[in-house]
Chains A and B, each alone.
Chain A
């Protein structure tokens, strides 16, 4: 897995799926690019225009709480965000993110020590996030092997395709 490098965008606690992508958009399309134009609209309508590919979301507790809509991590990924780092994640968002190949890292204490615009470098294999602007390093809660494998394949679609191909 390649190393991720980008700027930090901070969001607080309990960022819910309705602010990540309101139902009115996800009801009418399953096109990730169209969804990406409205990502985080409930908090910062200009967010999609400001993001550069490789940037990272740094959030507080319970990121992605609320609905089971996979369009939430899909819209984040399609907007160019390379990973989400949070103090904790809501469970369905966490599963969905891994299943669509959006890296998610749980790191306690990172929120307070990160500022908007800090340059972060993430080594997914090692589960390490380095804040290059502040010369700090953080270790993520280790991920079960099976989830790491899904993430390495870029998501559940490729993971299952490969497994089925091997079985034949």
Chain B
């Protein structure tokens, strides 16, 4: 088996190629459905999953981790801690990391850290967080795992993976005004359902991508998980190249699906016909156009999370909120995904615009999205959110309700206090 030949093959999918070249003992080409044991380039965990992984690592008889430079811990889900019990779990992460020489990042969202500092094309990333699929945005194979698996990877640096079948989502044309990557993702999930891509590798393709930034692509790959995908990927192109140049990083390998590769499902999206979309309570695949639910009263509007808490998201919200006010009685919570996003937004005057409009800007955390702190919903309250899940009780009380939408739709809704189409303000 020759790596160059595998990469050049016109017969193999992205997933087949990367899971072939990453094998611990690369003997033969691995096709869809086969189980492979692959070496991991980066294993990451957050404070909701890592404490358990540490406990399991010790139960496995682990003493030293396989390679501390390839492990990353991020404290983001409840940061800064909101209780003594949670603080104790954070302490456990810090002390284990210190002993092992593992880097701990505190107060940035895990997927934003990986995107800003680690992810490159051809990397194999596993993360004890379901939204690890995000990093396909730069051409990495990235997938979510649990705590016990994180422990096993920390011990041995390898993991078994079944080569997923491929679903291709082809984005034709370009997006109209007021419609964003989030709307594409919600539209697709609505079409295929919450298990429509279960176990699959989603390849996002098509001309619309040439105008979508890495941040927007991250939204697509992040939300792919909400249709069950194992991983998602956008092929390496000029946008990826420019992104890497700006960050001063190089690809490990540029992996492209072959022209004759076997694609199990194919979906075409006519982007010019798309509208702003929402996922209505309490399923991510309960998708409607914003116009259909316009006028629904809200109590809270949230812009943040690993899905839509990046600079371009805050910029879009600021464009709509500039010179306007958040409706009295409604709270608009803005949570930048990282310190870098926070600082960039600060320097560009974005935070000033948001604060003047009446928003509260929090530190980077997963807080509101996972319903732990900084925006927990009360009984019967309704939120519109740029995050990724609207399950029962996700953001607070079991009787609260969540609508998922783009940051622009969230901003527009905050102004009127009811669900609002952002095109009304653009």
A residues sitting closer than 8 Å to B (CB atoms) are: 14, 16, 18-19, 22-24, 26-30, 41-43, 61-62, 65-71, 74, 88, 90-92, 95-96, 99-100, 144, 146, 155-157, 160-161, 164
Contacts and interface: CB of A to CB of B under 8 A. Distances in A.
A27 B160 contact: no
A23 B86 CA distance: 12
Contacts of B348: none
Contacts of B60: 157, 160-161
Contact of A70 (B52, B152, B162): B52
Contact of B55 (A14, A30, A41, A92): A30
Interface stretch (B142-150, B179-187, B339-347): B142-150
A69 B372 contact: no
A67 B130 CA distance: 5
Contacts of A43: 392
B45 to A, nearest CB: 10
Closest 6 CB pairs of A and B: A96-B146, A28-B85, A62-B195, A70-B146, A99-B148, A18-B391
A30 B51 contact: yes
B59 interface: yes
B59 A26 contact: no
B426 to A, nearest CB: 33
B371 A24 contact: yes
B323 interface: no
Given A27-B77, A62-B194, A62-B228, A70 B49 contact: yes
B61 interface: yes
B385 to A, nearest CB: 14
B389 interface: yes
Interface in B149-186: 149, 151-152, 155-156, 160, 162
Nearest to A91: B199
A66 B148 contact: no
Given A18-B392, A160-B60, 15 more contacts: A23-B48, A27-B370, A28-B86, A30-B55, A41-B398, A61-B195, A65-B228, A68-B130, A68-B146, A92-B130, A96-B146, A144-B162, A146-B160, A156-B152, A160-B156
A95 B152 contact: no
A26, A61, A91, A144: residue with the most chain B Cβ atoms closer than 10 Å: A91
Nearest to A90: B228
B284 to A, nearest CB: 9
Given A14-B194, A18-B392, A28-B89, A68 B78 contact: no
Best-buried of B127, B132, B151 by chain A (most CB within 10 Å): B151
A154 to B, nearest CB: 12
Given A24-B372, A29-B85, A70-B146, A160 B130 contact: no
Contacts of A88: 195, 198
A26 B50 CA distance: 12
